[in-house]
Structure 1
Amino acid sequence: MTTSPRLVPVTPDNFDAVVGVKVRPDQEFAVSPVLKSLAEAYVHPEVAWPRAIVDGDRVVGFVMAFLDIDWRQDGGTDIRSGLWRLNIDAGEQGHGYGKFAVHAVAEEIRRRGGTRLTVTWHPGEHGPEGFYLGLGFRPTGEQSDGETVADLEL
C-alpha cells in the first residue's frame, strides 16, 4: 500500500512519537528539539502552527510555522509568516518529507492570504542552506540572531 505524507495536529495520541523525532547528531546545531518547539507553541499560540508529519501510521517529522508576526522590532511593521522549525527524523531523511512539509506550510500561508514564506537557518557544513536554496528560497540580506533570513515568493 502506498501512502502519502500529511500534516496532522499534535495530539495526546501522537505526542510521544512527535517528541521522539530526532535529527542526525551533526544537524542538532541547526534546529531545536521538538519538545522546545512545542513549549514555544504553547506560550505563543496566537502565531504558532505546530504539526506532525505523518506517513501512513508513522510520525516521520515535525514542522512548525509562524503566522502573521511583526518581524520588525523597531516600531515599524513587516508582517511575515514562515517556517519556524523543521525536524525530519534521522532515519526518515532523504524521502521528500522536508520538501512536502515546506510545500504544505506554503499552502497554509497562501490559504491565509500570504504571499511569501520566510525561513531562517544557521550557517554550517551540515546545515539546511542547500535544501532551502534548492526549493527556491532567496536570502534577503538580513540576519536574525546570527541566522540567514530567506524568502520564498508564493
Structure 2
Amino acid sequence: MSTSSPALRLEPVTPHTVDAALALKVRPDQDRLVSPVVKSLAEAYVHGEQAWPRLVFDGDRLVGFVMAFFDFTFYPDRPGDLPRSGLWRLNIAADAQGGGYGRFAVEQVCAEIRRRGGRRVTVTYVPGDDGPAGFYARLGFRPTGEFSGDQEVAELELPQA
C-alpha cells in the first residue's frame, strides 16, 4: 500500500482551514454512507486525544478529510475484546474521488497507528453493493463478522517494522 506524491499531505484542522473543511462534500449518493465533516469535528472535540482529525491536501487543494481513533487500552472486564484503533471517518470531495486520495489517507492512518505501537487497524462501514466494502478490501481489510450498530467491522493487520 503506497501512494506517494510530495504534494499529498495530511494537516490538522486549524482556524484558517475549518470553513473549507466544513464545506467539503462527498457525492450526493454517498451522503447516507458517511457522516459530514461537521459531525466528525464535533465528535473529535468530545473525544479529545483519542480522535485524530486531519485534512487531506494535494498541494494547496483540499481534497478530503480523514479521522482516526486511538485506543490501546486493554479492558479486563471485556474478555476477548481487543484494543481498537482505526479509521473513524473518510470523506473525499466529490470532484476528487478516484485520484488515490482515499488510499493515501488510509495509508497515513495506518502509519500513524503503527507509529503509536498499534498492530491492527479497524474500520466500520455501511455494508452493501454501493458502499465502500470493495475499496477497503482492495486495501487489505477483511470483515470480522462483527457489526457496530448498522456498520460492518473490518480490520487490517499491520506489518511489524
2:63 aligns with one of 60, 76, 91:
60
Q: TM-score w.r.t. structure 1 length?
A: 0.93
Report the secondary structure of 1:29's partner residue. Answer: coil
What residue number does 2:27 align with? 24
Moved over 4 A (4+): 69-72
Q: 1:11 to 1:126 in 2, by over 3 A?
A: same
Identity of matched residues, %: 63
What residue number does 2:118 align with? 114
Superposition RMSD on alpha carbons, in Å?
1.7
Q: TM-score w.r.t. structure 2 length?
A: 0.89
In structure 1, runs of 5+ residues without a counterpart are none
In structure 2, runs of 5+ residues without a counterpart are none
Q: 1:69 to 1:35 in 2, by over 3 A?
A: farther
Query: What is the identity, as a one-letter code, of the residue corresponding to 2:49?
Result: E
CA distance in 2 between counterparts of 1:17 and 1:138 reads: 33
CA distance in 2 between counterparts of 1:99 and 1:71 reads: 29
What residue number does 1:153 align with? 157
1:15 aligns with one of 14, 18, 38:
18
More strand by share: 1
What residue number does 1:95 align with? 99
